[in-house]
Amino acid sequence: MKKTLIYIFVFIIFCYLADLGINNTIAKQIDNRSPYCLSFASIGANLLESRLDSWAKIKTANNFNELDLELIKILNLLNLPIQESAIEHKQEKGQLSVFYQTAKGQTDYYINLQTENHTTYFLLTALSRQNDITLRIDEKLLKQQYQGKSYFQYKGIIYARPDFNGCKKILHVICKCLHVQETDIYQSHNMLSMAAFSPLLQDKYEQVELAGKNYNLQIAIHNDSDKNQTYVYLGIPLLLNDY
């Protein structure tokens, strides 16, 4: 009888530890996923594009040679292809700028460096036709090297065109997934948009303050009547581009 009780006790402990390990693994996987994953999956949207916009003030470059060197530093940092003959130079009204375009895997990169009034900035835009794993790695590398800002944008598609109430339901599902209150909704004849604060994003992503309020998420839903489909956009902390 004692042996039986011991076996049962050991079995219970084993099941508990196994369940704990599985739950920790699932929690870690959820924690590592991007905010668009659960949101898009919940509304039946397919990801079309992930986008990173990152910019920062850097060491002042006073001529094209110095700008090229700063550009190459960024390319090396992100392990991007370097083709110096493809660097474009432009000088206009006391402003020096260089532009470079390249690609790695499924991601296209557009990098611009500009010097004006003895101050140099870089702006990097990366567009991925798949998930944002590469973009998040790039953003982390840039943050380690430069004190700049980074915005993420995700574009998804739903192959249907719901009416206004249907779009509000889509917005409601996204807000629920990201623990957001539905407030200050802007609407037009074919679009809904809302800026909000998500506690799920506050530890990993930047936030902005506008009119005394903190925001780290903007959602937009745009109906395309010509193609009978709907585009869904998530901007973190805000949407910088047309939608």
Q: For residue 33, what pLDDT band results from cuts at 50, 70 and 90? A: low
- Please count the residues of the chain: 243
Q: How far apart are CA 171 and CA 43, in angstroms?
A: 9
Q: Are residues 194 and 139 in the same domain?
A: no
| Residues 167 and 179 grouped into a single domain | yes
Per-residue pLDDT of 191-205, as tens digits, reads 999 999 999 999 889
State yes or no: pLDDT of 30 exceeds 90: no
Q: Is residue 242 part of a domain?
A: no
Mean of pLDDT values over 17-26: 37
With respect to residue 201, please indicate whether it lies within any of the assigned structural domains.
Answer: yes
Residues 110 and 159 in one domain: no
Per-residue confidence at 119, pLDDT binned at 50, 70, 90? very high
Q: Is residue 214 domain-resident?
A: yes
Same domain, 139 and 161: no
- Of the three residues 152, 180, 203, the one that is the final residue of a domain is 152
Q: Do residues 129 and 108 share a domain?
A: yes
Q: Do residues 160 and 41 both lie within one domain?
A: yes
* One domain, residues 87 and 121: yes
**Residue 240 or 80, more confident:** 80
Buried b / exposed e along 163-185 (16+ C-beta atoms within 10 A) = eeeebbebbeebbebbebeeeee
What digits encode the pLDDT tens for the residues 129-167?
Answer: 988 999 999 999 999 999 999 999 999 999 999 998 999
Q: Is the predicted pLDDT of residue 183 greater than 50, yes or no?
A: yes
pLDDT at 27 over 60: no
DSSP-assigned states of every residue in 58-100 = ES---SHHHHHHHHHHHHHHTT----GGG-EEEEETTEEEEEE
Could you list the residue range(s) of the whole structural domain that residue 2 is in?
A: 1-32
67 & 144 share domain: yes
pLDDT at 226: 86
Say what the pLDDT of residue 204 is: 87
Is 243 inside a domain boundary?
no
Chain centre to alpha carbon of residue 72: 24
SS3 category, 121: strand
Model pTM score: 0.84
Tokens found for residue 92: 């206009």
What is the model's pLDDT at position 81? Answer: 97
Q: Are 206 and 227 in a shared domain?
A: yes
Mean local confidence (pLDDT), 225-243: 90
On whether residue 181 sits in a domain, the answer given is yes
| The pLDDT of residue 32 | 54
Kindly indicate the confidence band of residue 221, based on its pLDDT and cuts at 50, 70 and 90: very high
Residue 14: pLDDT over 70: no
Say whether both 113 and 68 belong to one domain.
Answer: yes
Counting the structural domains of the chain, the total is 3
Residue 134 lies in a domain: yes
CATH of the domain at 206: 3.30.310
Q: What is the mean pLDDT of the chain?
A: 87
Domain boundary among 152, 183, 217: 152
Query: Is residue 172 included in any domain, yes or no?
Result: yes
Last residue of a domain, one of 115, 132, 152: 152
Residues 171 and 107 in one domain: no
Q: What Rg do the C-alpha atoms of the chain give, in angstroms?
A: 23
Please check whether residues 61 and 136 belong to one and the same domain.
yes
Task: Determine the pLDDT at residue 3.
Answer: 43
